[in-house]
Amino acid sequence: MVFSIILAAGSSGRMGSPKALLEIGENTFLQHIIRILSDQNVENIIVVLGAHAEEIKPKIPILPVTVVINEQWKNGQLSSLIAGLNAIDESKTDGVLIWPVDHPLVSGIVIDELINAFENDNDKIIIPRYQGKRGHPVIFPKSLFDDLRSAPLDEGARSVVHRNEDLVYEVETSDEGVLLNIDTPEDYKKFIVN
């Protein structure tokens, strides 16, 4: 079984407002991602909040979602990932899908492909790839949870991927959304508003 951790704890400094609450269609980024995961039958969804927790938390859909507050969010994305991992009952999972909230344009089809690839070999790190470039979200096997917890904060999960290239399985996709990081108002206007 795959759990999912949605990382939504950052300050969204470059955006100027919480990215989790930006609108995509009739939903916020966070609502949109949660609904995609639910539609793909991911039952164990953990949302990690931090900088704008009190503003974001009331707007999380009424679905089976576990909310974790990362008080150490200023330490970077890895600290939020660790907070999410610590909320997981590891006896019930084989791996975890890590989805940053600023990558809302990933389709449910890609999520299905990633999970299917992981279920075929649950010792692998599953990474989507679009036109030769790796994107998000990424699935890590349970065997690497401790490596993630002990990774350098300034390098994050990327360092675990680099140290375990022999475990990486790339899923080729035609979905450019795996690369699109909505980080600034310009990104938002270019990829979401139009």
13 Cβ contact partners less than 8 Å away, ≥ 6 residues apart: none
Tally of domains within the chain: 1
Which amino acid would we find at residue 56? I
End-to-end CA distance of the chain: 37
Which amino acid would we find at residue 181? N
- Give the integer Cα–Cα distance in Å for 92 and 51: 29
pLDDT by residue, tens only, the chain of 194 residues: 899 999 999 988 888 889 999 999 999 999 999 999 999 989 899 999 999 999 999 888 777 799 999 999 999 899 999 999 999 988 899 999 999 999 999 999 999 999 999 999 999 999 999 999 999 999 999 999 999 999 998 889 999 999 999 999 999 999 999 999 999 999 989 998 76
Q: Which domain CATH number covers 23?
A: 3.90.550.10
Q: Which domain holds residue 59?
A: 2-193
**3-state class (DSSP) for residue 151:** coil
